[in-house]
Structure 1
Amino acid sequence: MLSLVACELVLAAMCLLVLGVNLWVLLNYLLKIDIPPSIPHRMRFRILYYGFQLMVTWGNILERLRICTMPKLCQILQDLMNTKRNCKVVVTDLCFEEVPVRLFQPKATSSSPRKGIIFIHGGGGILGSLDSYHALCSLLAQETDSVLLAVGYRKLPEHCHPVGLQDCLCASIHFLKSLKAYGVDPSRVVICGESMGGSAAVIIIQILLGRPDLPKIRAQVLIYPILQTINFQLPSHLQNQNVPFLTRDFMITCILRYFSIDPSWKDAILTGAYIPQDIWMKYRKWLSSDNIPQRFRNKIQQPEFPGPFNKSAYLELKNLLDEGISPLVADDEVIAQLPATLLVSIHWDVLRDDVLLYKKRLEDQGVPVTCYHVEDGFHGCLFLFDKIFSFPCCWDIINAIVRFTKDM
Structure 2
Amino acid sequence: MMKVAFALTVSLVAVTAYYFYIPLPSTISEPWKLMLLDGIFRGIVHVGKLAHWLGICHFIQVLDYTVTLDTLGPVTNDNLRVTDTAVGGVNVRLYEWTGGAEGELKRGVVFFHGGGWALGSAKKGSYDVLCRKMAEDLKAVILSVEYRLAPVVRFPDQYEDAVRASKHFLQPEVLARFSVDPERVAVSGDSAGGNLAAAVAQQVAMDSSVTVKFKVQSLIYPALQTLDFNTPSYQQNQNVPILYRVLMVRFWLEYLNADLSLIDPLLINNHTALDQSAVDPHRPKVDWASLLPAEFREGYEPVLQALGTSRPVEEIPGLLDVRAAPLLAERDVLSRTPRAFILTCEHDVLRDDGLMYGSRLEEAGVDVTIDHHGDGFHGCLTFAFWPTHFKVGKRTLANYISWLDQTCSLFLGLFLSSDHE
* TM-score normalised by length of structure 2: 0.86
Report the residue type matching 1:295 in the other structure. Answer: E
203-212 vs 272-281, which moves further: 272-281
Which residue number in structure 2 is paired with residue 159 of structure 1? 153
- Find the partner of 2:192 among 183, 190, 196: 196
Tell whether 2:95 aligns with 1:104.
yes
**Aligned-partner Cα distance in 1 for 2:69–2:313:** 42
Which structure 2 residues correspond to residues 244-255 of structure 1 after superposition, within 5 A?
244-255=241-252
Which residue number in structure 2 is paired with residue 168 of structure 1? 162
**Aligned-partner Cα distance in 2 for 1:50–1:172:** 37
Which residue number in structure 2 is paired with residue 11 of structure 1? none
**Aligned-partner Cα distance in 2 for 1:135–1:147:** 14
Which structure 2 residues correspond to residues 288-327 of structure 1 after superposition, within 5 A?
288-291=287-290, 292-303=292-303, 305-327=304-326
Please say if residues 86 and 138 of structure 1, whose CA atoms lie closer than 8 Å, have aligned partners that are also in contact. no
Q: Secondary structure at the match of 2:229?
A: coil
Report the Cα offset of residue 76 of structure 1.
2.0
Please say if residues 206 and 336 of structure 2, whose CA atoms lie closer than 8 Å, have aligned partners that are also in contact. no
Which residue number in structure 1 is paired with residue 234 of structure 2? 237
Q: Secondary structure at the match of 1:377?
A: strand
Unaligned stretches of 5+ residues in structure 2 = 1-10, 409-421
Please say if residues 104 and 141 of structure 1, whose CA atoms lie closer than 8 Å, have aligned partners that are also in contact. yes
Which residue number in structure 2 is paired with residue 181 of structure 1? 177
Which residue number in structure 2 is paired with residue 267 of structure 1? 264
Q: Secondary structure at the match of 2:208?
A: coil
Task: Check 1:78–1:338 CA distance in 2 against 1; reply closer, same or farther (3 A cut).
Answer: same
Report the Cα offset of residue 126 of structure 1.
2.5
CA deviations on 1:293-343 (whole Å, 9 max, x unpaired) are: 22112233443x145132333311343012121111111111111100001
Task: Check 1:359–1:80 CA distance in 2 against 1; reply closer, same or farther (3 A cut).
Answer: closer
List 4+ stretches of structure 1 deviating above 4 A. Answer: 23-27, 84-87
Which residue number in structure 2 is paired with residue 35 of structure 1? 24
Report the Cα offset of residue 107 of structure 1.
2.0
Task: Check 1:334–1:100 CA distance in 2 against 1; reply closer, same or farther (3 A cut).
Answer: same
Which structure 2 residues correspond to residues 7-406 of structure 1 after superposition, within 5 A?
30-31=20-21, 33-83=22-72, 87=77, 88-110=79-101, 112-130=104-122, 131-132=124-125, 133-177=127-171, 178-214=174-210, 215-275=212-272, 277-291=276-290, 292-303=292-303, 305-406=304-405
Report the residue type matching 1:220 in the other structure. Answer: Q
CA deviations on 1:146-193 (whole Å, 9 max, x unpaired) are: 111000111122122222111111111111121111110112110001
Q: Secondary structure at the match of 1:274?
A: helix
Give aligned pairs, total: 386
**Aligned-partner Cα distance in 1 for 2:160–2:255:** 14
CA RMSD of aligned residues (A): 2.3
**Aligned-partner Cα distance in 1 for 2:134–2:392:** 16
Please say if residues 90 and 147 of structure 2, whose CA atoms lie closer than 8 Å, have aligned partners that are also in contact. yes
Report the residue type matching 2:143 in the other structure. Answer: L
Report the Cα offset of residue 196 of structure 1.
0.6
Q: Secondary structure at the match of 1:375?
A: strand
Unaligned stretches of 5+ residues in structure 1 = 1-18
* TM-score normalised by length of structure 1: 0.88
49-58 vs 210-219, which moves further: 210-219
Which residue number in structure 1 is paired with residue 4 of structure 2? none
**Aligned-partner Cα distance in 2 for 1:234–1:79:** 31
Q: Secondary structure at the match of 1:338?
A: coil
Indicate the percent of aligned positions where both proteins have the same amino acid: 32
Q: Secondary structure at the match of 2:95?
A: strand
